[in-house]
Structure 1
């Protein structure tokens, strides 16, 4: 078995490989990086490193040669037009190389969203289906990292977390938990073909829960303040994606509970 992982030096990719090493031999892993010299740490672990630049389609056929499984980690490019073109390069090369199984890090419940992000992932899923290659869609929820945009340290200092009015609920997860779930799928070849998983929290949390977690974490009382004049762009984005729907797919793949909200926000608190 050979597991090819694109974006291997990214935050999610590196965590997936870290988890995968606990389940399979390093000789079964092929890490794709944009610059070969940045993969030296993988070579030292016995992992094969190949060039995997989404913008160099001519090189990808050699990169994917012999792949039993190909994990396409979605591009992080800021321009969605560029991203869909990059994904197409990967998919076309996978088909030419007769890759046996394509896995793709999509986005949770994209059918319910109206953001360009949702359309991008649906389009990529469709393109993968048209190849006729067995697939697995790993529909990742929004990272809990988004709370960094809420300026939690100021909220703690002032005792108030400012939010835009609404009945907000969030199915977010950590990259760490996603990596655990995705590594579990990759280590069980054949079991997950032609399936899609909604990798979200099993139950959504609210801003009330977040304020309570901040209070518990710091010992300082933090309350909510709804402000219809707030200008933070994050609320506009959140309103265009499905942050409410939940699934226990990720817990089942991991075989246990996900990281708690309190622990998930720890990296973003410095007070």
Structure 2
């Protein structure tokens, strides 16, 4: 049995829907915080177990009879690392043999500005030390996040970010989920690390050019100073912590942290992942 945490989220849903094409539904376990959100999964025959990363007793119950666990990284909770450790501990306690974790594909964790990303590599280290057989699934930045970065009025205002000419190996979240499911089904009992990235890396100039071509409307990219972005975010009432984290994220893009490209996603999909031009029409109204 394969347990998927964060089962009703976007990535968890993609993983489970692929699994259901490859294994009986009663072999798939969905860990959810809110059972009412799992109605569709339950109707498909998926085992539903209720719990969250903070509730160690619920995690212990959820792990019973499970052979493999996919730990989908949590959000930005202050105790996020402890939450991940709780899942790993529960899996080990229950005798689970295999732990997969959705980490991040980045050039050099030691030089990251956005320190929130370090939680991924601290979780990786904890999993390695646990003695569990593991698969570390290092995803590139979701292409699906582009509308958030560009803003809702991108075709009127263009793109203004402090990312320089930094490039990002964007990949669609659903394709990463599909590849993760394929890895879970093909486990060979060895410890593995995968980098699930797009086949190419793109700058925000590339994003602007693709949006221009696809929409027929001129879209430009302006590399702004980080202080300008910070002031704009502050004017919208964004908390200082979130502002600093976002600036750090953009700085990491500028420094090439998101640029590395791997063929792992293509290998585990059995096809080329969607290019920027292929993916954008599914994310914008074009």
SS at 2:153 equivalent: helix
Alignment of 1:1-271 (within 5 A): 2-76=1-75, 78-79=76-77, 81-109=78-106, 111-112=109-110, 113-151=112-150, 153-158=152-157, 160-164=158-162, 166-190=164-188, 193-228=190-225, 230-231=228-229, 234-240=246-252, 242-270=257-285
Q: Distance in 2 between matches of 1:211 and 1:38?
A: 36
Structure 1, unmatched stretches of 5+, are none
Paired with 1:92 and 1:236, the residues of 2 have a C-alpha distance of 31
5+ residue gaps in structure 2? 231-242
Deviation at 1:62, TM superposition (A): 1.7
Question: Once the 2 structures are TM-superposed, how far is the Cα of residue 199 of structure 1 from its aligned partner?
Answer: 1.1
- Contact between 2:18 and 2:181, CA under 8 Å: does it hold in 1? yes
* Residues 200, 249 of structure 1: 8 Å contact kept: yes
TM-score (norm 2): 0.85
Rounded to whole Å, the distance in 1 between the matches of 2:192 and 2:3 is: 19
- The two structures have a TM-score, normalised by structure 1, of 0.90
Conservation of the 8 A alpha-carbon contact between 1:163 and 1:230: no
Contact persistence 2:150–2:160 (CA under 8 A): no
Q: Distance in 2 between matches of 1:44 and 1:27?
A: 11
CA distance in 1, matches of 2:80, 2:193: 21
Q: Alignment partner of 1:265: what SS?
A: helix
Given that residues 153 and 270 in structure 1 are in contact (C-alpha distance below 8 angstroms), is that contact kept between their aligned partners in structure 2?
no
The residue matched to 1:162 in structure 2 has which SS? Answer: strand
Measured in 1, the distance between the counterparts of 2:163 and 2:91 equals: 46
